Amino acid sequence: MLTVINTTKRTKLPYYLLLLVLVIFSLATLFPFLWMISASLRTDVDLFKNPMNWIPQTLYLDNYKEVWQAIPFAQYFLNTVKLSVIITVLQVVICSMAAYAFAKLKIPFKNLIFILFMTNLMMPWHSIMVPQFSVVSSLGLYNTHSGYILIQLFSGFGIFLMRQFFMSLPNELNEAARVDGYNEWKIFWRIMMPLSAASLSTLTIFTFTFMWNDYLAPLIYLNDDNLKTLQLGLKAFQTEHTMDYGLLMAGTVLATIPMVAVFLAGERFFIQSVATTGMKN
């Protein structure tokens, strides 16, 4: 859909002027990242030279070595991967199951429950974070990974997105499968889930990006150093090393690389997923 090209006639000069504006605009957008990388490859002495050299004279790689010793980077990284993957998989499955039930099965008080679930779309998490914290700590789950995981598994958005898709599938599909002796569980896993790859990847991308970058909820729920995520680690690192630009930027670059790699690998899906959610909202 995004590849449709406007083919109306245009004069050359304004076109190239617009292109030039866009290229400058994009360089300005990317500038902080370029500077981040450049700063991570310098000694601080080199960085604060006046006048500033924009291209480092010699590549200084020690920042990338030191950052692993300065913070338990590997531990933070593993925690982040673990939490993001577990939450994404469970949330996608739980939301899809509920969505399938709303779209194709009988549920008592279906509309009432659906409306209740959808209030989650309008209600920002921030407005319930204080009482939610009380509930989670009274269950003894404060400062545990399971507590953080549990609060992230329900998503009104996920249920809504998947339900829209399942509703677009013909009911005959279910009926035929039932005649063939499939039970609902089998229909869900063998027929519905494989058919919904596009919606599933949208939801997966959204959930994973959000969880990888989440900061406020881990800040509230994860206190011990061995439980912390990359974002918390980076923030703590910043507080201690505000003056150590090169080291700080090396940590930031390292924490950003995995997400960027995932993004560049699935760029088409990322962009498409935003476009679809935009249309469906």
Partner 1 sequence: MMTNQRLRNYKSYIPGTLFILPAFVLFAIFIFIPLVYGLVMSFTDYGGFNVTPNFVGLDNYSRLLQDDYFLISLKNNFIYTLLFVPLTMLLALFAAIALNNILHLRKYLRISFYFPYITSMVSIAIAWGLLFNPVSGPINYILKAIGIANPPEWLMSSQWALLAIILVAVWKSFGYYMIILLAGIQGIPQHLYEAAELDGASKFQQFLYVTLPSLSPTLFMVMVLTIINSFQVFDLVSVMTDGGPGRSTNVLVFRIYQEAFVNYRMGYAAAMSTVLFLIIMVISLIQFRLEKKWVTY
Tell which positions 80-139 bind partner 1, by CB under 8 A.
94-95, 97-98, 100-102, 105-108, 110, 113, 116-117, 120, 122-124, 126-136
CB of 78 to partner 1, least distance (A): 17
**Which among 152, 91, 157, 88 is positioned nearest to 119, based on CA atoms?**
157
For residue 80, how many C-alpha atoms fall within 13 Å in the half-sphere facing its CB?
24
Closer residue to partner 1, CB minimum distance, 61 or 121:
121
Q: From 30-38, 63-71, 81-89, 194-202, give the range in contact with partner 1 by CB under 8 A.
A: 30-38
Q: How far is CA 13 from CA 17, 18, 19, 25, 134, in A?
A: 6, 9, 10, 18, 62
- Stretch 243-272 residues interacting with partner 1 (CB under 8 A): 245, 248-249, 252, 255-256, 259-260, 263-264, 267, 270-271
First to last CA, the chain: 17
Closer residue to partner 1, CB minimum distance, 68 or 182:
182
Closer residue to partner 1, CB minimum distance, 61 or 107:
107
CA 167/CA 147 separation, integer angstroms:
33
Please answer whether residues 231 and 213 qualify as being in contact, where contact means their C-beta atoms are separated by less than 8 angstroms.
yes
Q: Does 15 bind partner 1 (CB under 8 A)?
A: yes
- How many DSSP H helices and E strands does the chain contain? 16, 0
Please answer whether residues 192 and 263 qualify as being in contact, where contact means their C-beta atoms are separated by less than 8 angstroms.
no
Closer residue to partner 1, CB minimum distance, 61 or 112:
112
Among 81, 153, 173, 193, binds partner 1 (CB under 8 A): 153
CB of 76 to partner 1, least distance (A): 12
Among 64, 77, 154, 189, binds partner 1 (CB under 8 A): 154
- Stretch 157-216 residues interacting with partner 1 (CB under 8 A): 159, 183-185, 188, 209, 212-213, 215-216
- Stretch 56-85 residues interacting with partner 1 (CB under 8 A): none
Taking CB atoms within 8 Å and a gap of at least 24, the contacts of 41-48 are: 41/246, 42/246, 43/246, 44/243, 44/244, 44/245, 44/246, 47/245, 47/246
Closer residue to partner 1, CB minimum distance, 41 or 159:
159
CB of 183 to partner 1, least distance (A): 8
Stretch 215-234: interaction string toward partner 1, x if CB under 8 A? xx--xx---------xx--x
CB of 225 to partner 1, least distance (A): 17
Burial class (CB in 10 A: 0-12, 13-18, 19+), 150: middle
Among 12, 13, 32, 172, binds partner 1 (CB under 8 A): 32
Binding residues with partner 1: total (CB under 8 A): 96
CB of 165 to partner 1, least distance (A): 15
- Which of helix, strand or coil describes residue 154? coil
Those residues whose C-beta lies under 8 Å from the C-beta of residue 43, and which sit 6 or more positions away, are 60, 246
